[in-house]
Amino acid sequence: MNIGTTIIGLHLALKKYMIQFFILFLFWLMGFIYYLSTEPYQDLWHLILLSWTIRSPINGGDFSNFYISIWPLLLEIIVLGFIMIELLEKYNPVITSKILAGTKTNHTVVIGYGHLSERIIEYCTENKKPFCVMEDDQELVEDLINAGSPVVVGDPTDFPNLNLVNIDRAKEVFICINDSRVAIICTEKIRAQNKDCRIYVRAFGDHVQEYLGQAPLNAYSFSTSEWAMTGIHQWIENKTGKAIVIGRDYLTHRIAYDISLQSGRDVYLFDDENDGIEFTENSQMHIIHEFACYLSDLSPHVSLNEVTQVFICWIRDSEFDEALYLTSKFHEKYPQIEVFVRIYDDEILDLVKKFNAKTFSSSKNAFQMLQKDVAPDSAIALQNTKN
């Protein structure tokens, strides 16, 4: 827990006990005034010690006896109770993170928490750039909240939540949401409150990007899948044979679609969540709505001896074990097949490469591409690496 978080937590606790401390002060003031009137020739320090019941009055009356019996009790209940219950008890980290977010100015706001957002936040943290995060799923940002980072849990399309991240005083905003409709609404509401901040929006579809770039929104939109496909195209061009693509997101669908456009190539897309894809389907694309993590899940739909390429594009960290297992089985049973695995953690590169598979990271590539396109004074601009 850093000192900023500690101060915020103390502030919250004091605010909660404001009425109790006010009552304690009034009772002390009443006692002080009483001793001031009954012992007028005593010095101020003596009167204070009397009001704290550290000294006893020479001629104490009924009120003095009452005060001496009640004051220690109030002091114990309120002050010691505050110390034992509030200061030793963990404060609410969600509220603290929300208050911290509201203290930021000329800062970077990251809306939506995913792998790209994580890289932006890590870069801001390493380079000591002010930032705050907004995400409507508390579980995704639990680690950030517990670490004392400025986080607001809530819907980014609501004005009250935007106010909590001090959006009108933000320098730049990165909207990393998969839902284009939500991203558009969020962009419009941000621009209504802040006419000058730069807005970077992850958006799929040329028509969405064109709309976001027009006045008055004037947002810079980008597609992480388009950037990723720049490198992937060299793997699929001029290839033959059948291909398997496993995953659920836009990039997964784009890979499968591009392969299906090649002459004589059939592609088998395994997507257990989506009913269809964003692209026009054709006879060379076969969509299987099943979760495939074993060779036995694949073989009923395609002859693995005819497959030349496999793309494993899961994005959930919890599914990396399945991806690694499937990669190892391809290496063991079908070493002639090229296997490409999408990863997000550089530390696991060697685990995948030992099975002769190629790796790619759409978030790492997207972050590097985004660094080239942001304004020079952006928190993630390339020249910041020299600081």
- Residue 77: count other Cβ atoms within 10 Å of its Cβ: 12
Task: Identify the pLDDT of residue 89.
Answer: 47
- Residue 294: count other Cβ atoms within 10 Å of its Cβ: 12
**Contact 151/135 with Cβ under 8 angstroms?**
yes
pLDDT bin (cut points 50, 70, 90) of residue 4 is: low
**Contact 94/153 with Cβ under 8 angstroms?**
yes
What does the mean pLDDT of the chain come to?
88
- Tell me which residue of 42, 149, 69 sits closest to 101, measured CA to CA: 149
Domain architecture of the chain: domains with CATH: 3-87 (no CATH), 93-222 (3.40.50.720), 226-362 (3.40.50.720)
For residue 301, the Cα-to-chain-centroid distance in whole angstroms is 38
Which pLDDT tens digit goes with each residue over 196-232?
A: 999 999 998 889 999 999 999 999 999 888 898 988 9
User: Where does residue 174 fall: left (phi above 0), alpha (psi -120 to 50 degrees), or beta otherwise?
Assistant: beta
Q: Tokens representing 357?
A: 């598979």
**Radius of gyration over every alpha carbon of the chain, rounded to an integer in angstroms:** 31
Does the pTM exceed 0.95?
A: no
Residue 85 has pLDDT above 60, yes or no: no
- Residue 94: count other Cβ atoms within 10 Å of its Cβ: 15
Q: Is 266 helix (H, G, I), strand (E, B) or coil?
A: coil
pLDDT bin (cut points 50, 70, 90) of residue 387 is: very low
Q: What is the mean pLDDT of residues 339-361?
A: 85
Please compute, for residue 100, the number of CA atoms within 13 A of its CA located in the half-sphere on the CB side.
Answer: 29
Q: What is the mean pLDDT of residues 321-338?
A: 95
Residue 246 has pLDDT above 60, yes or no: yes
Q: What is the mean pLDDT of residues 255-279?
A: 94
Task: Identify the pLDDT of residue 256.
Answer: 97
Which pLDDT tens digit goes with each residue over 280-314?
A: 999 999 999 999 999 999 999 999 999 999 999 99
CA distances from 344 to 205, 232, 312 (A): 24, 16, 13
Query: Can you tell me the distance from the alpha carbon of 182 to that of 159, in angstroms, rounded to the nearest whole number?
Result: 13
* The most confident of 11-20, 133-142, 225-234, 378-387, by mean pLDDT: 133-142
In degrees, rounded to 5, the angle at the alpha carbon of residue 263 between the alpha carbons of residues 257 and 268 is: 40
154 CB-contact burial (10 Å; exposed 0-12 / middle 13-18 / buried 19+):
middle
Task: Identify the pLDDT of residue 8.
Answer: 59
Strand partners, 153: 135
Task: Identify the pLDDT of residue 66.
Answer: 87
Residue 384 has pLDDT above 70, yes or no: no
**Strands ordered across the beta sheet of 151-153:** 151-153, 131-135, 108-111, 172-175, 198-202, 220-222
Of all residues in the chain, the percent with pLDDT exceeding 90 is 58
